[in-house]
Amino acid sequence: MRTFCCCRLKTACGINLLRVVLILRQLVQYLKLESEEKVAKVVVVANQKGGVGKTTTAVNLAACLAVMEKKILLADCDPQGNATSGVGWDKASRKQNLFSAYFEPVCFQDAVHATSFPYLSLLPATSDLVGVELELVGREGREFYLREGIKQIGDAFDYVIIDCPPSLGLLTVNALCAAQYLIVPMQCEFFALEGMAQLMRTYKLIRQRLNPNLSMLGIILTMHDARSNLTKDVENEVKSHFPGKVFDTTIPRNVRLSEAPSHGLPVINYDIKSKGSQAYLKLAEECISRLGRAGAA
């Protein structure tokens, strides 16, 4: 009788211990998921070729994601500051900006400013940013300054969208090292194909040596004219070279897209019914879908 009771007690203790272990595993998994959810997804918009729609894509993608009530930080890494003025920020403002954040990383949070658009914050650029490459060139870990800064504030946002200058210099390398995902805007012309080859070499080098977590989110075809045979030829060429990497959405040539920056507005706030607005809304939805699949992989 005593032996039987001991066996029952051991069995009950074993079952209770198993339950505790299962509960602890679930708790650890929940905490892990919760911590991962708090880290912003960092997306860099880059192409060393100028005039392909990098800034237009960065500004309008950020604005469309903000309209979807995602907390967005738009980081302007281009000394021209077009993304900064594109959301209505005065580039002459003496408030802290990305340049000051590079040299005072502990004050990175102070360089982030709210815009007049809900859910959209800005890390502005000024022409002073030109001096960053000269200042950092001899410093150890110069490729990771932006990444370390974003780590301080990443949990406050769902997405960080980084706009890059039209070059493959240290500012662009910093952006590529800070990001998890790369979007490449590409104009539908053959010169753009040559630029893609050079960018892909840089992308592979960054992955191999500096940021193995960087992955290609997609190539977005800009200034797209479906009536043009050249556009169709370039589109087919890109899709054959980068299967599965070209966004289904294309950005058409659109007058409203060209007009909106002069008013300091993203196109969705300038004319929501325009073809440009509708295209960037579709791109935002497609990005969220791709990022969801990438996160689940």
**Rounded mean pLDDT, 35-60:** 86
* CA–CA separation, 155 and 40 (whole Å): 6
In angstroms, how far is CA 223 from the centroid of its own chain?
21
In angstroms, how far is CA 3 from the centroid of its own chain?
65
Phi-psi bin for 271: left (phi > 0), alpha (psi -120 to 50), beta? beta
Give the pLDDT confidence score for residue 36 in this predicted structure. 47
Tally of structural domains, the chain: 2
User: Could you read off the pLDDT of 234-264 as tens digits, one per residue?
Assistant: 889 899 988 999 999 999 999 999 999 999 9
pTM for this prediction: 0.85
Are 46 and 170 found together in one domain?
yes
Sequence length of the chain is: 297
Give the pLDDT confidence score for residue 107 in this predicted structure. 76
Domain residue limits at 195: 39-296
User: Could you read off the pLDDT of 180-227 as tens digits, one per residue?
Assistant: 999 999 998 877 777 788 888 989 999 999 999 999 999 999 999 888
Give the pLDDT confidence score for residue 153 in this predicted structure. 87
Q: Indicate the burial class of 228 (C-beta count within 10 angstroms; 0-12, 13-18, 19 or more).
A: middle
User: Could you read off the pLDDT of 118-167 as tens digits, one per residue?
Assistant: 999 999 998 888 888 888 887 888 899 999 999 988 789 999 999 999 98
Are 138 and 278 found together in one domain?
yes
Calculate the average pLDDT of the chain.
86
pLDDT band at 28 (very low <50, low <70, confident <90, very high): low
* Total Cβ atoms within 10 A of residue 13: 10
| 288 contact partners, CB below 8 Å, separation of at least 6 | 65, 68, 70
**Structure tokens that stand for 169 in this block:** 């210099």
Are 34 and 109 found together in one domain?
no
Q: Which residue has the tokens 């000051």?
A: 100
Model confidence at 69: pLDDT above 60: yes
Are 43 and 103 found together in one domain?
yes
Are 148 and 279 found together in one domain?
yes
First to last CA, the chain: 55
| 137 contact partners, CB below 8 Å, separation of at least 6 | 170
Are 29 and 117 found together in one domain?
no
- CA dihedral (186, 277, 80, 171) in degrees, to 10, reads -50
| 169 contact partners, CB below 8 Å, separation of at least 6 | 133
pLDDT band at 35 (very low <50, low <70, confident <90, very high): very low
Give the pLDDT confidence score for residue 104 in this predicted structure. 76
* CA–CA separation, 193 and 242 (whole Å): 11
pLDDT band at 21 (very low <50, low <70, confident <90, very high): low
**CA angle, 265 then 50 then 125, to 5°:** 50
Give the pLDDT confidence score for residue 24 in this predicted structure. 63
**Structure tokens that stand for 54 in this block:** 């990098």
Give the pLDDT confidence score for residue 138 in this predicted structure. 79
Are 11 and 96 found together in one domain?
no
Give the pLDDT confidence score for residue 227 in this predicted structure. 85
Are 24 and 132 found together in one domain?
no
Are 174 and 29 found together in one domain?
no
* CA–CA separation, 162 and 194 (whole Å): 23
**Rounded mean pLDDT, 107-124:** 92
> SS3 for 100?
helix
Looking at the chain, the whole-number percentage of residues with pLDDT higher than 90 is 55
**Nearest Cα to 44, choosing from 255, 215, 261, 234?**
215
Are 33 and 161 found together in one domain?
no
Q: Which residue has the tokens 């579709």?
A: 282
CATH of residue 147 = 3.40.50.300
- In single-letter form, the type of residue at position 48 comes to Q
Give the pLDDT confidence score for residue 23 in this predicted structure. 67
Model confidence at 6: pLDDT above 60: no
